[in-house]
Amino acid sequence: DPFGAATLERPWDDGTESLDNAKRRVDAAFEFIHKLGAPYYCFHDRDVAPDGATLAQANSNLDAVVTHLKAAQEATGIKLLWGTANLFSHPRYLHGAATSPNADVFAYAAAQVKKAIEVTHRLGGENYVFWGGREGYMNLYNTDMRRELENLARFMHLAVDHARAIGFTGRFLFEPKPKEPTKHQYDFDAAACLNFIRAYGLEEHVHLNIETNHATLAGHTMMHELTYASIQGALGSIDANTGDLLLGWDTDQF
């Protein structure tokens, strides 16, 4: 319930943030995906494994679950389409991750992405996704947009450099979304993302991951975003949700 406590009870999920519960959720997910006959799955780091009081603890938790994920992949033949890092849920990311005005937050986010890329590579992931959930601003009066865009580009270049250094040869995907949770996000739509990618020399490495409700939130149809990304040679992947404008999320009309 988005306005209350948890209401769903699942036999595999006891509602805790324990590693045992995380592994049971993996088992349930792979059973479901296997029954669907879907060839791929995707994940956010903090969705599959509990966070920790320290980065080291969070990484240890992730390693434990990734071992379980790898075994599930081998048992079912299901492959990893992409991995990504959740850089928007924790309070430290209130004012962004790569675009945060706090250097400590930038560094923590970089370390979190470093680990997420490493486990994506370990699992044979074909892509790595950047979604800047809070890479934007609430008010321009206290925002140095040029600095934030430059820092975001620097962050992405660091990620690409590390990925290539460890042998990851997959694509990076930038996912457009114009707003929510921030008032304005720099990854506004396919055109804005491509302009950013080209302006900062990332076009060799970064393509686009287009999501239906993010397209409508930007005032476009999904067909528009897919067509634009495709004719620019930048369509990398699709998040195909229903595109229902009456959902309670991804459609806030500010």
Match 């938790």 to its residue by tokens: 61
Among 13, 27, 34, 44, the active-site one is 44
Secondary structure element (H or E) that encloses residue 198, with its range: helix 190-199
Tell me the pLDDT tens digit for each residue of 40-49.
Answer: 999 999 999 9
pLDDT of residue 7: 80
Residue 3: predicted pLDDT: 64
Look up the pTM and report it: 0.94
For 62-121, the pLDDT digits (tens) are 999 999 999 999 999 999 999 999 999 999 999 999 999 999 999 999 999 999 999 999
Q: What percent of the chain has pLDDT over 70?
A: 96
What is the pLDDT at residue 6?
A: 74
179 backbone φψ class: left, alpha, beta (φ>0; ψ -120 to 50)? beta
- Domains of the chain, each with CATH number or no CATH: 88-239 (3.20.20.150)
User: Which positions of the chain have pLDDT values less than 50?
Assistant: 254
Coil vs helix vs strand at 202:
coil
Distance separating alpha carbons of residues 80 and 125, to the nearest angstrom: 5
Q: Are 176 and 130 in contact (CB under 8 A)?
A: no
Active site residue 157: no
Q: Are 128 and 170 in contact (CB under 8 A)?
A: yes
Phi, psi (degrees; rounded to nearest 5) at 34: -65, -40
Catalytic residue among 13, 47, 51, 239: 47
Is residue 44 annotated as part of the catalytic site, yes or no?
Answer: yes
pLDDT in the model for residue 238: 98
